[in-house]
RNA sequence: GGAGAGAUGGCCGAGUAGGUCGAAGGCGCUCGCCUGCUAAGCGAGUAUACUGGGAAACCGGUAUCGAGGGUUCGAAUCCCUCUCUCUCCGCCA
């Protein structure tokens, strides 16, 4: 959520910056609602002040017959206050839900542009492999090796679900452990294991709601949602809290499955593991001092990159343009891994800084000094990494001409020493 | 699922025949005094949001005692609904 006062004082500039995301208009109607609200507030509060002082006087008067006329008068005033409050509540509600649908302001360093082609490559690592034989896509490799069973996944649940078997299931688990060990032991994150379902407040805090409900799996009876990313439960760990400055930065990593409806992507990436309703991810989340968030984004992105480097998977880092960053994001780096089976780069991690956008929605604050006003922290997160897509990248990059797949060195201790997956 | 108890400020904890309660007291914390050091002691201060005024320091108003609604001139206190926590019973990985 953007700061209401900031919008009020910088309406045109805010609108201009938001439009770099590509929409038509973002702040139409704000001025009217805001002014209406303040007028109602002023009128109601003046009456309440009157009522308070007169009620006080009535309270101090022993002989109530002396103040009968005042009681009657205040009865009128209270009636009027009630009407004003009702109207104010309506306007408040409108203004609040309006603000909840306004996306974050792009960071000053986010490239301006509307389309994927406007994303900027920041750097790359490793050489995209050119295999000396015809490379297979991972869905063929997975089926031929008997480690990915797409048909059975579809039978058990439906499209976009996969059954992992044997070395495939083992490798998924190995990757999770490798990533968690790296981030906790080497990068200073605390591991957390959060609930995989959350309530509406948590989804609103990180920005999935109210706008993107159709992207979520929702439970019918208790009003719960399956998490689309660990970002949601982990960022909400500190919702409504005032943190100690000395606690910052707070760094969490979490393994969770992620559940996404993928509504609107019918027919896209229907084969293989790329786009699933359920996938595993190790997520990195940070709560930082506002002055540190820019630097922390670089650090966090580096932590995600480290996983790819250890696995010796070639990748590139893209700075997403203003039209391509997410609703809550101010700046996003995507890590794209090279997939020789499909001869393309695919997103495997997305690292974002949200500035104070999520912190304001979720009310996560700290004090600069003991007596200072609470200020909003900055939040960041990034995949470190998407596990299913990492497995895809390994299968395609480590495939051999005979159809077997070598296990990356760093992963072997996590797989009981297995060096090669064979049919 | 059944029965009962509870939810007050950073923490603990008073406060129910409705008014002088944004809320006693204690702890913690901040500043000052005192003080060979430490400890103790003394004094002052110590919630948040919105809003009006002001360049600012700051001053004023309103709201908030789990959340929402009701009664009343007036609600932490009375009534209703909900959420959460705890205890006992049942069920259960």
Nucleotide nearest to A56 (CA to C1'): B19
pTM flag (> 0.90): yes
Contacts with A202 (C-beta within 8 Å, 6 or more apart), sequence order: A232, A233, A236, A239
Measured from Cα to the C1' atom, the residue closest to B31 is: A371
- Round and report the angstrom distance from CA (A203) to C1' (B81): 25
pLDDT in tens, A104-133: 999 999 999 999 999 999 999 999 978 899
**CA nearest to A138, candidates A419, A417, A415, A403:** A403
- Round and report the angstrom distance from CA (A240) to C1' (B12): 22
pLDDT of residue A158: 92
Q: What share of chain A is helix, strand, coil (3-state, %, to 5)?
A: 45, 20, 35
Instruction: For strands A315-319 and A120-125, give the pairing.
Output: antiparallel
Nucleotide nearest to A242 (CA to C1'): B10
Strand B contacted by A82 CB (< 7 A)? yes
Q: What are the tokens at A167?
A: 């070395």
pLDDT of residue A268: 80
* Residue ranges of chain A with per-residue pLDDT less than 50: none
pLDDT of residue A176: 98
Nucleotide nearest to A67 (CA to C1'): B73
pLDDT in tens, A205-263: 999 988 898 999 988 777 889 999 999 999 999 888 888 888 889 999 999 999 999 87
Nucleotide nearest to A222 (CA to C1'): B83
Strand B contacted by A56 CB (< 7 A)? yes
**CA nearest to A376, candidates A93, A18, A6, A108:** A6
Q: What are the tokens at A196?
A: 């995989």
Measured from Cα to the C1' atom, the residue closest to B48 is: A374
Question: Quick count: other Cβ atoms within 10 Å of Cβ A151?
Answer: 10
- Per-position b or e across A21-37, b if 16+ CB within 10 A of its CB: beeeebbeebeebbebb
Strand B contacted by A186 CB (< 7 A)? no
Nucleotide nearest to A59 (CA to C1'): B19
Strand B contacted by A78 CB (< 7 A)? yes
pLDDT of residue A133: 94
Q: How far is CA A304 from the centre of its chain?
A: 16
A window 364-383: Cβ near strand B (< 7 A): 365, 370-371, 373-374
Strand B contacted by A31 CB (< 7 A)? no
- Round and report the angstrom distance from CA (A371) to C1' (B27): 19
ipTM of the complex: 0.88
Within A182-259, residue ranges assigned H as helices are: 200-206, 231-235
Q: What are the tokens at A25?
A: 């208009």
């Amino acid at each position: 959520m953007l700061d209401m006062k900031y919008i009020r004082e910088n309406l045109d500039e805010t609108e201009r910056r938001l439009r770099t995301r590509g929409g038509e208009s973002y702040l139409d109607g704000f001025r009217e609602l805001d002014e209406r609200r303040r007028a109602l507030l002023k009128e109601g509060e003046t009456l309440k002040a009157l009522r308070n002082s007169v009620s006080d006087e009535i309270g101090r008067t022993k002989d109530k017959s002396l103040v009968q006329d005042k009681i009657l008068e205040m009865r009128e005033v209270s009636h009027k206050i009630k009407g004003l409050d009702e109207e104010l509540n309506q306007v408040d509600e409108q203004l609040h839900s309006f603000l909840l649908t306004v996306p974050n302001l792009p960071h000053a360093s986010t490239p301006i542009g509307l389309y994927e082609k406007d994303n900027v490559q920041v750097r790359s690592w490793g050489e995209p492999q050119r295999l000396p034989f015809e490379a297979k896509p991972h869905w063929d490799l997975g089926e031929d090796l008997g480690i990915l069973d797409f048909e059975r996944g579809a039978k058990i649940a439906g499209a976009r679900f996969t059954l992992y078997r044997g070395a495939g299931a083992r490798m998924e688990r190995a990757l999770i452990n490798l990533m968690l060990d790296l981030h906790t032991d080497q990068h200073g994150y605390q591991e957390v294991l959060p609930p995989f379902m959350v309530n509406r407040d948590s989804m609103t805090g990180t920005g999935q709601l109210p706008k993107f409900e159709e992207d979520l799996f929702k439970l019918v009876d208790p009003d719960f949602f399956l998490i689309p990313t660990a970002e949601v439960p982990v960022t909400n760990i500190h919702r409504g809290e005032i943190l100690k400055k000395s606690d910052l930065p707070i760094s969490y990593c979490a393994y969770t499955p992620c559940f996404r409806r993928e509504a609107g992507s019918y027919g896209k990436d229907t084969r293989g593991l790329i786009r699933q309703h359920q996938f595993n991810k190790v997520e990195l989340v940070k709560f930082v001092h506002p002055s540190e968030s820019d630097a922390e984004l670089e650090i966090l992105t580096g932590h995600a990159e480290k996983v790819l480097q250890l696995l010796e998977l070639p990748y590139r880092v893209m700075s997403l343009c203003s039209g391509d960053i997410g609703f809550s994001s101010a700046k996003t780096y995507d890590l794209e891994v090279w997939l020789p089976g499909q001869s393309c780069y695919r997103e495997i991690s997305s690292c974002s800084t949200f500035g104070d956008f999520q912190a304001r929605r979720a009310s996560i604050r700290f004090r600069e000094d003991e007596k200072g006003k609470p200020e909003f922290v900055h939040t960041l997160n990034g995949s470190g990494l998407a596990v299913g897509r990492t497995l895809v990248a390994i299968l395609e990059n480590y495939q051999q001409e005979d159809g077997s797949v070598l296990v990356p060195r760093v992963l072997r201790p996590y797989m009981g020493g297995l060096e090669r997956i064979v049919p």
